[in-house]
């Protein structure tokens, strides 16, 4: 059995082709989600157009409870009232 030498150019072409295929896979692989772009950034999201926002009227309360707003909530056993959001400002830290 004789062994033939392969021109070095063929080896380089093979390596480049391999690299090209690998890079292409890296570019397009994170599909399946319309927020992925270019290099496959995972973020952003286009909603179905049926999504609706707002539209509620007065009395539909969406804010967090504030200080002293303990009310008569039904808290889990062993817990006090619902907490509020942080109040410290960075300047006072």
Partner 1 sequence: MSVLFDRTRDPLRGLLVLLALTSCSVALAALPLDLPPVSTPASTEHHPGKVIWADLVTPDLGADESFYGGLFGWTFQIIHTGDSDYAIALLDGRPIAGMLQKAIPAGEKRRPAWLTFIAVRDVDAARAIAISHGAKVMSEPKTYAGRGRQAVLADPEGAVFAVLASASGDPPDFLAAPGDWIWSASFERDPKQSATFYKAVFGYDVFDLPSDDGAEHVILSSDDYARAAIHTLPSDHRQPHWLNFIRVVDAVATAAKAVALGGRVVVEPYVDRHGGKIAVIVDPTGAAVALMEWSETDTKVEPK
Summarize as ranges the residues that interact with partner 1 (CB under 8 A). Answer: 7, 9-10, 12-13, 16-17, 19-20, 23-24, 26-27, 30, 32-69, 71-76, 79, 81-90, 93
85-92 contacts at long range (C-beta below 8 A, 24 or more positions apart): none
Q: Minimum distance from CB of 28 to partner 1 (Å)? A: 10
DSSP type of residue 64: P
Q: Minimum distance from CB of 2 to partner 1 (Å)? A: 23
Closer residue to partner 1, CB minimum distance, 2 or 59: 59
Q: How far apart are CA 69 and CA 63, in angstroms?
A: 12
Q: Minimum distance from CB of 6 to partner 1 (Å)? A: 12
Closer residue to partner 1, CB minimum distance, 2 or 79: 79
Number of residues in the chain? 93
First-to-last alpha carbon distance for the chain, in angstroms, is: 80
């Amino acid at each position: 059995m004789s062994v033939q030498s392969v021109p070095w150019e063929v080896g380089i072409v093979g390596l480049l082709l391999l690299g090209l295929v690998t890079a292409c896979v890296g570019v397009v692989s994170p599909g399946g989600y319309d927020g992925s772009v270019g290099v496959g950034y995972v973020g952003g999201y286009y909603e179905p157009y049926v999504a609706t926002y707002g539209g509620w009227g007065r009395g539909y309360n969406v804010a967090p409870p504030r200080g002293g707003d303990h009310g008569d909530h039904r808290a889990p056993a062993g817990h006090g009232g619902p907490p509020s959001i942080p109040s410290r400002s960075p300047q006072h830290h």
